[in-house]
Amino acid sequence: MSYGKKHRDPQEWIAEAMGQFESSGIRKVFDLARKLKDPVNLSIGQPDFPVPEVVRKAAIGAIDRGQNSYTVTQGLPELREGILARARASLPAECFTDRSILMTSGTTGALVLALNCVLNPGDEVLGFDPWFVMYPNLVALDGARFIAVDTAPSFVPDPERVRALITPRTKVMIINSPANPTGAMWPEEVLRALAELCLEKGILLISDEIYSMFSYDGPFISPARFNPQTLVIDGFSKSHAMTGWRVGYAHGPTRLIEEMIKLQQFTFVCAPSMAQHGAIAALDVDMSAEVASYKERRDFIRGELARDYDIGQPGGAFYLYVRAPHGRNGTEFVAEAINRNLLIIPGKVFSHHDTHFRISYAATMRTLERGVEILKDMAKG
Ligand code: PMP
């Protein structure tokens, strides 16, 4: 059969906004991982413990009972109420004078909906360098600009520097503490200053709290404590090792949540039904043993590398953000590590600087020991 002489180059169908983002640099390392034999993999940003049994059973039970259809767009009432009840226990009462919640397809779903619902082309979003890889890309998709506040070398921002970058187009600020990729937990006074700055300037504060459970040196502090209009986004991917289940949520000002529900009706429809049933069970599971085990791994790898490397202050999440030694650039250092069978992520993926690399210690002790050995050898230069 002939369809005419010339096929159109499919490239011509691709939207301009897509040209602004490259396929994730992290995926490139994952692709490499598949080719290496028995690599020492410290590149993966997901927990290595199993999904708790009661959670698995609850989801399987839901499937078996036939709870396989759409849920209401905003998510199962019991799940939403359970999450809000927990938020009420940790945030001041004034946060709840105007606060609603919706369940989303992962924390990513919450981010996508929130940014789409608030950004107009040309708006500016304040974020921080290094950033979580999705932020600049999702902002670009809306035709908005991601303005990255440099936080090197401490990886804690200076609120006065942030203030100086605010323009009449600044609409959103995204905070992620504990942070991916640095593992930094920002001090209370910094979170307070940024949260109050958003209030003063009428900027929507989005707090990505996906690593809140992994706070090792003190309690987790939400910037929502200092700004009742904060949109909190979070999910079960990291806390309960449910990355593939796609359950997240957002709670914040009701008007904004209403709009996100409207957009979800026409995009994701709802978070996966059986996974929401599992998440109800997850709310009551004590994960403190898992957190303690991650703290031990953090202490181990930090202790082992501290003599040879500049590793900053990894107070949370499960990452170390390490400076490549001897003034080497991060990309070259990572290429050499990969040659030695060690998978880590170059800092360039998250930053304008090419000075660091990310280690994930969400791995077995044996893997961490092997990684430490290679890194110590590489530090000899
Ligand atoms: N925010 C941050 C900071 C993350 O690190 C991740 C996952 N790597 C996400 C959001 C997305 O998580 P989810 O699986 O819930 O979509």
**How remote is the CA of residue 350 from the centroid of ligand 1, in Å?**
14
135 Cα–ligand 1 center, Å: 10
DSSP 124-144: EEEEEES--THHHHHHHHTT-
What local confidence, expressed as pLDDT, does residue 4 receive?
62
pLDDT given at position 36: 83
Ligand 1 contact, 108 CB (< 6 A): yes
Residue to mutate (ligand 1; options 139, 180, 246, 319; most atoms within 8 A of CB): 180
Q: Does residue 235 have its Cβ closer than 6 Å to ligand 1?
A: yes
Domains and CATH numbers, the chain: 22-50+287-378 (3.90.1150.10), 53-282 (3.40.640.10)
Ligand 1 and 183: CB distance under 6 A? no
Whether 75 is in the pocket of ligand 1, judged by its Cβ within 6 Å, is no
Give distance in angstroms: CA of 34 to centre of ligand 1.
22
Ligand 1 and 45: CB distance under 6 A: yes
Give the number of residues written for the chain: 381
24 C-beta closer than 6 A to ligand 1: no
146: left (phi over 0), alpha (psi -120 to 50) or beta: beta
Determine if ligand 1 sits within 6 Å of the CB of residue 181. no
Q: Which atom of ligand 1 lies nearest, measured to the CA of 132?
A: 3
Residue with CA nearest ligand 1 atom 12:
107
The answer to whether 325 touches 379, Cβ cutoff 8 Å, is yes
Atom of ligand 1 lying closest to residue 110 CA: 16
Per-residue pLDDT reduced to its tens digit, 24-62: 667 677 777 777 888 999 998 899 999 999 999 999 999
180 lines ligand 1 (CB under 6 A): yes
pLDDT of residue 114: 98
Ligand 1 center to 132 CA (angstroms): 8
Residues in the chain where the model's pLDDT stays below 70: 1-5, 22-25, 27
Indicate which atom in ligand 1 lies nearest the CA of residue 208: 1
How many angstroms is it from 107 CA to the middle of ligand 1? 6
Average pLDDT over all residues of the chain: 95
For residue 3, the model assigns a pLDDT of 60
The pLDDT assigned to 201 comes to 98
pTM score:
0.95
Q: Is the CB of 210 under 6 A from ligand 1?
A: yes
| Strand 231-235 versus strand 204-208 pairing type | parallel
Please give the distance, rounded to the nearest whole angstrom, from the Cα atom of residue 380 to the centre of ligand 1: 35
- Residue pair 194/162 in contact (Cβ under 8 Å)? The answer is yes
Q: What is the predicted pLDDT for the residue at 188?
A: 98
Q: Classify the phi-psi angles of 171: left when phi > 0, otherwise alpha if psi is within -120 to 50, otherwise beta.
A: alpha
What per-residue confidence (pLDDT) applies to 331? 93
pLDDT tens-digit series, residues 189-200 = 999 999 999 999
Amino acid at 118: V
Q: How far apart (Å, rounded) are the C-alpha atoms in residues 195 and 228?
A: 9
| Torsion sign over Cα 84, 86, 88, 91 | negative
In angstroms, the CA 245 to CA 286 distance is: 19
Edge-to-edge strands of the sheet including 124-129?
100-104, 248-252, 231-235, 204-208, 170-175, 124-129, 145-150
**Cβ atoms 135, 127 nearer than 8 A:** yes
Cα 110 to averaged position of ligand 1 atoms, centre (Å): 10
47 Cβ closer than 6 Å to some ligand 1 atom: no
Determine phi and psi for 43, rounding to 5 degrees: -110, -5
Ligand 1 atom showing the smallest separation from residue 108 Cα: 16
Does ligand 1 come within 6 angstroms of the Cβ of 176? yes
CB 43 near ligand 1, within 6 Å? no
